[in-house]
Chain A
């Protein structure tokens, strides 16, 4: 690279960069390239030298969420053993089991969304996924209510299918 500014150098007045057509060289690879997924979107917020932003701490999304998740999970253990121990469940206990299962599943699906759809790279997809999960949970809770009201309940239902 020349250290001298040539007289023909044009000052870059426009801030646009038009990406060149990709020229992927057929380089020699010692091992087979096995990509599970294609490269995702590459987004750089600010410059490469800016530190990654640390989200503001919020106990609702942090400590309280964790504690609530623990309560639900630990509450589920005796609730799941109860049908096997008691044989059949009172409809209200059955409904509580169902609702706690749906709540636990919702928290689990939320964790998967947060893990696999980072906000910086896929902001719209993240919003859509959260919206879809919330709608699905509302629908499922309504379906659980209908199931407990019109049908025999989760414990009896699984028993019926098992012994069919």
Chain B
């Protein structure tokens, strides 16, 4: 252990009590400095007049530098490191299913709107005959792909509206309603797929 003072520290006293010899004290560079603050020559002028303050950094010069630096900095991880929890998983799934259902609605009605000009046939009769020609498994996969997101979104929307009016906002109720939505989604999807 290198000591930076020529004085024996109080913390070394236990060594003496234990009968051990304290380690050899080495003088470092700091110990060689002679601090003459108290004994400085009072007539020596301070060096203040030789020090010119730096110019204030101008924002129009530093801001582009900062922007350029930030462009090369890595993004702090967020989605990849947050502990998986029912709360934010369900929230993300709410958005995903909503976008899927809304996107499907927009895609179909938009296609129906431009079909005469594009030469498409997307009326329900054509689509029904196309679906009828699918194998049974594909039909049920298709039913699942519509029923599952629609049921989940419908039930989670009800949960959101319950929150919007101020109910079930503490964590326990959030989890309870969340599990209820998941159970309802399972039941509703099976009902829509096999009993409708």
Binding site for A on B (CB under 8 A): 50-52, 58-61, 63-68, 70-75, 77, 79-80, 95, 98-99, 101-102, 105-106, 109-114, 123-125, 127-129, 131-132, 139, 143, 154, 157-158, 160-161, 164, 196
Contacts and interface: CB of A to CB of B under 8 A. Distances in A.
Nearest to B101: A105
A85 interface: no
Given A108-B99, A136-B106, A151-B124, A34 B77 contact: yes
B109 A102 contact: yes
A52 interface: no
Given A15-B61, A109-B102, A112-B95, A77 B158 contact: yes
Contacts of A101: 105
A36 interface: yes
Interface size class of A (residues with CB under 8 A): 35 or more
A33 B132 CA distance: 49
Contacts, number: 125
A161 B128 CA distance: 5
Nearest to A47: B59
Contacts of B154: 77, 80
A157 interface: yes
A159 to B, nearest CB: 9
A157 B75 CA distance: 47
B67 A43 contact: yes
Which of A5, A20, A112, A143 has most B Cβ within 10 Å?
A143
